[in-house]
Chain A
Amino acid sequence: MTSADHDHGEHDHSELSETELRVRALESILTEKGYVDPAALDLLIETYETRVGPRNGARVVARAWTDPAYRARLLKDATPAIAELGYAGRQGEHIVAVANTAALHNMVVCTLCSCYPWPVLGLPPVWYKSAPYRSKAVKDPRGVLRDFGFELPAATEIRVWDSTAEIRYLVLPLRPGGTEGWSEQRVAGLVTRDSMIGTGLPKAPHEVA
């Protein structure tokens, strides 16, 4: 791989077997020493593969789109508002929600590592952890959006939140037009993971019709 490009397809191929063997051996050493219980490892993996992911965040956004009082609570103090829906804990101990408007687009990054609001979005994708995103988001966020295939109007201000402490950020995207009267459950289907990071937009109504 190019040194900065954490692209799994290119990089891990050659070292896969070596790393795979190293991890396997390490797990057996730690299990034999009594430091880890493999059943707890299985449960950790299952939790993040099946229970914690961006569908959680989509429920939060959909609630905010359809319930003005909830939206106000979310923007005032997101951690308890998100806990109302049952999402809390590791890497989401202190959450701030930031709302997009017609004049302002928000984007979230962690330039120092890969801080990400796990309880609402799950584990971060490879691109979020990659050198291109971490370096470019704070300097040329419109260029990042072009990498994702869309152009932000020049008049729209862009605000980048670098997660350098233990505060985690969730973008509240604009509710798409043409969804008046839709239920909370139906609008949740429009919310994409990337729209909650600020590198994408929600789906248009015709995309889920």
Chain B
Amino acid sequence: MDGAHDMGGAAWSGAVKPEPDEPIFHAEWERRAFALTLAMAMPGGWNIDMSRFAREDRPPEDYLGKSYYQIWLAGLERLMLERGLIAADEIKAGAPLHPAKPVEKILRPEGVAAMLHRGGPTERDAARPAVFTAGDRVRAKMIHPSSHTRLPRYVRGHIGSVERVLGCHVFPDSNATGAGENPQWLYTVTFEGRELWGEASDPGLKVSVDAWEPYLEHL
């Protein structure tokens, strides 16, 4: 989806502002929104790609107008609403109005360390060999899917070279829609700055993205 979240190369955003001695969270609600998001994935049953799409699939003014954890909160509410875990009138009322939906499992304190340690590895056994090898020249496809994708706009249509073969990984474009993991070979593809940004680019710049095989074509 070509959304406001896909920011690489945008020229409107000004200077980066580091914050000295920045706290990990800036408000109590950020702590709770962070923890609710991590904990609800267990009863909710969604995956990371569904979470990302729920955060990113919103109008630019909404995405850009929210702080980071406000986007997490909005994404979490959407995932729960879509699955009937909560209802819109409950969010409005700030109180439960309907019976809970049965869930298989919830996160208990004794399960936290194991859940974090396990994480969500995405590498899978490959059903077929990788099409590309290190050193291959490839073009990032000129695609504009309306659903979730992890191919940023600033590399689409540009030529780069395969630097590393990273294994076969869960394909977000499928995983985000519930179509399954559909594992695909993943590559680090490196682009010259001038290929991406033109003659005025820093001559000493190289930029890489990690791109799944369906994002790439042979030259």
**Chain A, residue nearest B55 (CB):** A113
Selected from A6, A39, A162, the residue in CB contact (under 8 A) with B207 is A162
From 169 to 212 in chain B, residues with beta carbon under 8 angstroms from any chain A beta carbon are: 169-170, 172, 186, 188, 196-197, 201-202, 204-212
CA of A141 to CA of B16 in the docked complex: distance in angstroms? Answer: 11
Q: Flag if B24 contacts A6 (CB, 8 Å).
A: no
User: Given the complex, which residues of A lie within 8 Å of B39, measured CB to CB?
Assistant: 36-37, 40-41, 44
Interface size for chain A: under 10, 10 to 19, 20 to 34, or 35 or more residues?
35 or more
Q: Flag if B112 contacts A23 (CB, 8 Å).
A: no
**Chain A, residue nearest B152 (CB):** A111
Q: Flag if B204 contacts A90 (CB, 8 Å).
A: no
CA of A5 to CA of B13 in the docked complex: distance in angstroms? Answer: 7
Distance (whole angstroms) from the CB of A110 to the closest CB of chain B? 10
**Chain A, residue nearest B167 (CB):** A94
- Binary CB contact string for chain A from 102 to 130 against chain B (1 if under 8 A, 0 otherwise): 00000000011110000000110111011
**With A111-B6, A135-B7 known to touch, is A20 a contact of B13 (CB < 8 Å)?**
no
CB of A209 within 8 A of chain B? no
CA of A98 to CA of B54 in the docked complex: distance in angstroms? Answer: 32
- Binary CB contact string for chain B from 113 to 133 against chain A (1 if under 8 A, 0 otherwise): 101111111110000000000
CB of B52 within 8 A of chain A? yes
Q: Flag if A40 contacts B109 (CB, 8 Å).
A: yes
Q: Flag if A24 contacts B32 (CB, 8 Å).
A: yes
Q: Flag if B208 contacts A159 (CB, 8 Å).
A: yes
From 134 to 166 in chain B, residues with beta carbon under 8 angstroms from any chain A beta carbon are: 150-152, 154, 164, 166
User: Given the complex, which residues of B lie within 8 Å of A24, measured CB to CB?
Assistant: 29, 32
CB of B103 within 8 A of chain A? yes
Q: Flag if B16 contacts A147 (CB, 8 Å).
A: yes
Q: Flag if B152 contacts A167 (CB, 8 Å).
A: no
CA of A112 to CA of B19 in the docked complex: distance in angstroms? Answer: 22
CB of B96 within 8 A of chain A? yes
Q: Flag if A165 contacts B186 (CB, 8 Å).
A: yes
**With A89-B119, A93-B119, A157-B204 known to touch, is A132 a contact of B24 (CB < 8 Å)?**
no
**Chain B, residue nearest A111 (CB):** B8
Distance (whole angstroms) from the CB of A158 to the closest CB of chain B? 5
Q: Flag if B150 contacts A164 (CB, 8 Å).
A: yes
CA of A28 to CA of B96 in the docked complex: distance in angstroms? Answer: 8
**Chain B, residue nearest A15 (CB):** B70
From 133 to 165 in chain A, residues with beta carbon under 8 angstroms from any chain B beta carbon are: 133-142, 144, 147-148, 154-165
Q: Flag if B117 contacts A45 (CB, 8 Å).
A: no
**With A23-B36, A35-B100, A112-B6 known to touch, is A40 a contact of B67 (CB < 8 Å)?**
no
CB of A84 within 8 A of chain B? no
Residues of B at the A interface (CB closer than 8 Å) are 5-19, 22, 24-29, 31-36, 38-40, 43-44, 48, 52, 55-56, 61, 64-65, 67-68, 70, 73, 76-77, 85-86, 90-91, 94-96, 100-101, 103, 106-109, 111-113, 115-123, 150-152, 154, 164, 166-167, 169-170, 172, 186, 188, 196-197, 201-202, 204-212
Residues of A at the B interface (CB closer than 8 Å) are 1-8, 11-12, 15-16, 19-30, 32-37, 39-45, 47-49, 53, 88-94, 96, 111-114, 122-123, 125-127, 129-142, 144, 147-148, 154-167, 194, 199
26 A-B residue pairings within 8 Å (CB atoms) = A4-B12, A4-B64, A20-B28, A20-B29, A29-B95, A34-B103, A35-B40, A35-B103, A36-B39, A36-B40, A37-B108, A44-B34, A112-B5, A126-B22, A130-B13, A139-B9, A139-B154, A147-B17, A156-B204, A158-B204, A159-B206, A162-B207, A164-B150, A165-B186, A166-B170, A167-B210
16 further A-B pairs in the complex, CB-CB below 8 A; given A43-B109, A135-B13, A164-B211:
A23-B33, A24-B29, A26-B76, A28-B94, A36-B39, A36-B40, A40-B109, A43-B112, A111-B6, A112-B5, A127-B19, A135-B8, A157-B205, A159-B205, A162-B207, A165-B210
